[in-house]
Amino acid sequence: HVQLVESGGGSVRAGGSLRLSCAASLHTYSGNCMGWFRQAPGKEREGVARIWRDYGNTHYADSVKGRFTISKDNANNTLYLQMNSLKPEDTATYYCAAARPGRLGGSWFKYAAAFGYRGQGTQVTVS
């Protein structure tokens, strides 16, 4: 049973922080790499951060480096995204994603979009 449920979104002032959570079913969490996408109205989907399944290697989009931190709790099948120093341009719907450690066009994010799983999203608004 595939399940990814995001939570933790909301509205904050610029400079504020939010922590997103993604509760995954065991089937979805096990053996997969996990990550976060975001999509703002009128903009293309952007891969924000991902964490590799085995060694926990992380990768961040340049736009969030130094401000966002991705982490996971294997005991509870939960993925997190700590977002600090938020900017108005971070406003978007954030989606949790899970996929095998593949690549499409050199990108795990593209691979995950094509072949992985995605949650329903949680809205983040920064003003």
pLDDT digits (tens, 9 = 90+) for 23-54: 988 777 777 899 999 999 999 999 999 998 76
Q: What confidence score (pLDDT) does residue 104 get?
A: 92
pLDDT score at 1: 67
Distances, alpha carbon 99 to alpha carbons 33, 72, 102, in Å: 5, 15, 8
Nearest Cα neighbor of 95 from 4, 19, 25, 12 is: 4
Tokens of 93: 């719907």
DSSP state of 79: E
Low-confidence ranges of the chain (pLDDT < 70): 1, 54
**Sign of the torsion angle spanned by Cα atoms 116, 33, 60, 20:** positive
